[in-house]
Structure 1
Amino acid sequence: MQAQKTVLVTGSASGIGYATAMRFAKDGWRCVLVDYQAEALQGLIEKIPQAGEPHLIRVVNLMESTEIAALAADMPHLDAIINNAGMSDSTQLPLTAMTQEQFAPLVRLNLDAPRLIFQALEAKLKPHGRVVNVSSGAGLHAIPFRGAYSPTKTGVIAFTKALAHARPDLGVTALCPGFVRTEIVRRLIESGRLDPARAAGKTPLGRIAEPVELAEALFFLGSEGARPLSGSAVSVDGAASVYGGSVQCAPAEYDVLAMDTETTIAVVGNAPDSSQNWMSLQTENKDARYQSVIDASVLNAPDGQRLNAAHEAAKRFAQSHTQNASLTLLLPTQTNDWATCGDEAAARMFVAAQACEWGSKGLRINSLEVHAHTPVAEVQPIACYMASAAAQFLTGQSWTIAR
């Protein structure tokens, strides 16, 4: 009998953390629920699915290093740590007008806490365990009048990449959400600091995500199958991070399907003489509600023809899919060869541009960069998540398999 897996989720009393704890528990994991809101944690423990060992509650103020250090006492061994807890600035002051008392809380919670939690629990993390740090789209692009929010979220990405380099035995990734209907966002909307229509207008998918969609991403990143992405900052943001247009994106014209909607995957473009049998990713459930295509034609295109191959793949896909479907292109890893690197980079930007054009219809396009001899079995969990209905807020992204 397989041993029960255990995950620690910070900020689990609300928002993305709450949805993430529920998602792991649904799959039979034991959860260590960490938050400063004791009453809300108790409410969660009464609703969360239970299987095997009982879930644990840890009421902790993550702005206090001594309380973080105390987490190690009586902590079970962990398969994954999800550093989700965070906060936004509420002062709306210019950075130079902020006192240290106003500036420091975000630094302690958003930036220092993930590092201190890893330090405290490193010995409790099982071999080949996963660490997932929640950053933000604000860590990729500066947002003014939000205090230390953007700087701290950028720091989380840097910490993630450095830790992945220092600990190649682990799987360490950062998740960069876009706009999500969490309590933080709700308060920003109620205070007039965030217009939901404008937020959706900055997102090619034409809507704000629900916490369950980011929970699916964290569940995937916390799984063994995500380890080849170690060192990556993964954006699940409806293509907001790749959109460079000056006009508002069109609102969503599609219905969001349930995260567990059955997905069928068709594989096309696999070269018969290739050593990589991508056809093994194909599924037979042709009547599934969510339709996905994994296309290897760009991977197998001649040097200098990647951009044209990506364009042709998108045209084929558009001929048979009009709404709520996913195209995943397999691309070779970017090279430094001056003769071909421009065409390869252009193919990646094509993915982003096409995602922005398709977004309002719920048509998604992403690419997965693989090496010439990457085992298909190693890529399968990543490709299947990327293609599935569980990833309906993921589009316009190019993920690279770690060497």
Structure 2
Amino acid sequence: MAIDTVIIGLGYVGLPLAQEATRAGHTVLGVDINQGVVDSLNAGHSHVDDLSDGDIREMIEGGFEATTDTARISEGSVVVICVPTPLADDGGPDLRAIESAVGFIARNLKPGMLVILESTTYPGTTDEVVRPALEAGGLVAGQDFHLAFSPERIDPGNKHFGAKNTPKVVGGHTEACGDAAAAFYGSFVDTVVRAKGTREAETAKLLENTYRHINIALVNEMTRFCHELGIDLWDVIDAAASKPFGFQAFYPGPGVGGHCIPIDPNYLSYNVRARLGYPFRFVELAQEINTGMPAYVVGRVQDILNTEGRALNGSTVLLLGVTYKPDIADQRESPAVPLAQQLLAKGARVQFHDPHVMEWRSVPAAVRVEDPGSAAAEADLTILVQNHSAYDVDTLAEASRVFFDTRGKATAGEKVHRL
């Protein structure tokens, strides 16, 4: 069966994309540098939350195959880059995975091929990093091959929106490049949105997540002074959300996590500083507020324990939920990590429970408990860090000696303290 689509990077972005492309009749070859991931997929096993083993077997029946052999990129007419771009030490994006993937493509580039970058990065990456590397062999983007950027919009764990029904933004190096990319995505995505070019498409993704980052920071800062003033911010938000226009509800929490919100806005801030020489003040302030929330939670824990006549040093603190969002196993940038580390640094004995995490490698000193109810009854203080649907929050709060709710889910009571 001839390959028509190659997807480089088989994680939470590349794998759902491969699934939808396969369902639409494309013959997809997935390329990943992790041999274990490749072997597992070819054996019919999924390693991401949103796809089951049955989904992978269905993909294989549709012609999907995974490989570590980058020379096979030459078999495809469309190549999509879905590799991670973590933050580098200087605060900008670490482009090494993109550069590596582009190098693989450059060695296998053919006339007529369509190359699409989906990895989130700073504006200009497609034109300034990807294009020169691909053109080094003599082929010219927009003439000999097509080049485009289409930001990934995968929301892990979202039961309503996935790769098929989330609108796909596409920006081409040229109009014809954009046409080619739009035709490809249009074959399996319900709605394709054309951006003016690659830089506009790159910036659109950063604007989406910067918008969320800043608004989360707003309510995180409000929770501090509302607590001091005796105002229930959760009730305030519910009241404000009754307005049918001009307001969108955002909620406070112990910090921000995941693959987008804590990271992507920094790409834009980094780009503004590096190119223009001045700060993107909204982003930098939002980062300061959101990264400070674990420390704020620890301070509140100390205050709560003090009212109970206990010191944090030597107390047992139980954390409920350590992933970055509900009902998934993904722990990337979870605020539970700095929260646990700071509690440990102040002498607390930290326990945790999460139905999706059997081993918390980021915080090896934290002890996992099997029964959250029993553990809550014995702990000096229990913190709801992530509201998994498996938790009966009110029952756990009632079982606890003291319950600190950072997600606004517990019914008010003498034992319950809210963020």
Structure with the larger strand share: 1
Higher radius of gyration, 1 or 2: 2
TM-score (normalised: structure 1): 0.36
Ranked by relative contact order (alpha carbons within 8 Å, sequence separation 6 or more), the top structure is 1
